[in-house]
Structure formats: C-alpha cells, structure tokens
Amino acid sequence: MFNKASKGPLFPYIIWIALFVIAPIVLIVYYSMLDLNGNFTLANYRNFFSPVYLKMTLTSFWYAFLITLFTLLFAYPTAYLLTRTKHKHLWLMLIIIPSWINLLLKTYAFIGIFGLYGPINAFLEVFGLDPQQILFTDFSFIFVSVYIFIPFMIIPIFNSLDKMNPTLVYAARDLGASSFTTFRRVIFPLTIDGVKSGIQVTFIPALSLFMITRLIAGNQVITLGTAIEQQFLVSQNWGMGSTIAVFLIIIMVIIMLLTGQKKGGRIQ
C-alpha cells in the first residue's frame, strides 16, 4: 500500500497536518505549562481543578447536551420527512442555505426577534398576553443554538437515511412489525452512523460556543469557550487559556472515540 507511487500525493497532506494540526496542538500544550512570566509551571492544571472551572466544565456539558438533544429531536424527523419528499435534494438545499449566512448576523437578528417589542411579543399581545422577557434566558440560548446547529445535524442523518435500502422497511412491515418497531429495530440502527456524526458536529462546537453566550444568554451561561476567549483577550493569560483548550481537546477526543464509527458495524 505504501509504495512510492502512493507516497508522493500524500506529501502535501502530511505537511498540512503537521503544520495546521500537530504544531498548534503541541504549541497549546506548551503554552499551557507556562505561567504569566513565561516560567514552567503546572499551576494552570491545578487551577483547572478548582471549583470555578469544574463547575464551568459541568455547565458547558449540560448545555451542550441539551442543545444536542433538541437538535437531534428536531433534525431526525426533518431528515426523515425530507427523504420522503419528491424533490428531496432541493429541500435539503433550502435548509442548508441559511447556514451560509454569518453566524453573528443570525444572532443579532434574534436579539430583535426576541426583544420586548419584537415580533414574538407583538404576536403574544394579539392574544392579550403580557410581553415576556425572552432574551437572556435559558430558553433563548438553547433555541438559538439549536437553530444554528440543525443543518449540521440534518446533513449526515439525511445522507444515511438516503443510503438506506427502502426494501428493508417493506420487509419489516411485511413480517408484521409495527411502524414503531420498524423504526426502532430497522431504520434507527441503520442510520446510527449518521446520528453519531451529527452528534459530533453539534456537541463539540456547542461545548465551546462563546458569542451566543454573551449576545443571547447575557453571559448568564459561561462555557469553556467564553473562558478561553477571556483568558486570551482580556487577562492575557495565555497559559490558563491554553490549559482550558487542552481539556477541551481531551474532551473532544473522548467524544470522537465514543461516537466513532466501528469498522464493519454489526448490521451491514
């Protein structure tokens, strides 16, 4: 496999990976062991295990979990229905296009939509309800995050649903399975790989969200991403920022391993 002919084309990729994947990680690990004066120390790591950062890690996890859960709950049925439509690729396109719009622009739009005098409250007023404070709540934070991640979850699930052989479903129905059993025993296991990649692309970025925590949640939700931003830009404590980043990378690797695709899965 590794004869001369195949090594040549690999070369650019090796350089790419060395420069843009390995070197930055090595640098992050290196900086995480420096204190403010550039001396070697492990104090940053000790600091990370103080209650403040542990609590932050747990809240980050909790919110990332909620975001992923709701994204999955919305994305799966959507992807499923998409594969049943006539022009499924056109519909998929229409869902993906909004994800090309800059994240910040979409977030600012939500500030207006959720405002006390925004359209949602204007709508509530029609039914005689008092204006609700929607912005700067857990609800608004999770809603906006889910909105942002839904396309990324739909694509892998759509692809695996699309690849699935529909005759398997007919077979299951013929053999007397109810639609729920068909879903549970046939459709879902066959698309689990899509779900796993969907979870990866949602959960990992959700752990390190930072602009939305400020703009939509008013900094009442602090994620690991916010902490990294603060350490680098405000405190200028690159050591601590890198240490948080190291833990974020470790968490990401664990999640990748947990949701990784086993070679030659159980069901072919």
Partner 1 sequence: MKSLVQATIAILVVCALLFFVVDRLQSAGSAGSTDTITVYNWGEYIDPELLDKFTEETGIKVIYETFDSNEAMMTKVEQGGSAYDVAAPSEYMVAMMREKDLLLPIDHSKLPNLKNIDPYFLDLSFDPGNKYSVPYFWGTVGIVFNPGLVGDHLTFQSWEDLWDPSLQGKVFLVDGAREVMGMGLNSLGESLNAKDDELLDLATEKLTSLSPNIKAIIGDEITPLMINNEASVALTWSGQAADMMWENEELDFAVPEEGSNLWFDNFVIPKTAANIDGAHAFINFMLDAENSAQNNDYVGYSTPNAAAMELMDPEVIEDERFYPNEELREKLEVYENLGPEWLGKYNEHFLEFKMDIR
Residues that bind partner 1 (CB under 8 A): 8-9, 12, 36-37, 52, 55-56, 59, 111, 115-117, 133, 135-136, 214-215, 217-220, 222, 227, 230-231, 233-237, 240
Q: How far apart are CA 192 and CA 225, in angstroms?
A: 29
Q: In angstroms, what is the minimal distance from the CB of 214 to partner 1?
A: 6
Minimum CB distance to partner 1 smaller for 2 or for 180: 2
Rounded to an integer, what distance in angstroms lies between the CA atom of residue 235 and that of residue 151?
A: 35
Nearer to partner 1, 10 or 94 (CB): 10
Cα 221 to Cα 200: distance, rounded to the nearest angstrom: 21
User: What is the smallest separation between the CB atom of 54 and partner 1, expressed in angstroms?
Assistant: 10
Nearer to partner 1, 74 or 232 (CB): 232
Q: Is 208 strand, coil or helix? A: coil
**Quick check: helix, strand or coil at residue 3?**
coil
CA dihedral 64, 67, 68, 69 (to 10 degrees): 120
Phi, psi dihedrals of residue 23, rounded to the nearest 5°:
-60, -45
Q: Which is nearer to partner 1, 81 or 122 (CB)?
A: 122
User: Going by C-beta distance under 8 Å and a sequence separation of 6 or more, which residues neighbour residue 11?
Assistant: none
Q: What is the DSSP letter of 19?
A: I
8 versus 176: smaller Cβ distance to partner 1: 8
For residue 260, the minimal CB distance to partner 1 (Å) is 28
Distance (Å) of CA 169 to CA 23, 81, 193: 48, 15, 18
In whole angstroms, how close is the CB of 117 to partner 1 at the nearest point? 6
Our CB check for partner 1 shows the closer of 126 and 234 to be: 234
CB of 200 to partner 1, least distance (A): 27
Q: How far apart are CA 21 and CA 16, in angstroms?
A: 8
Least distance in angstroms from the C-beta of 251 to partner 1: 18
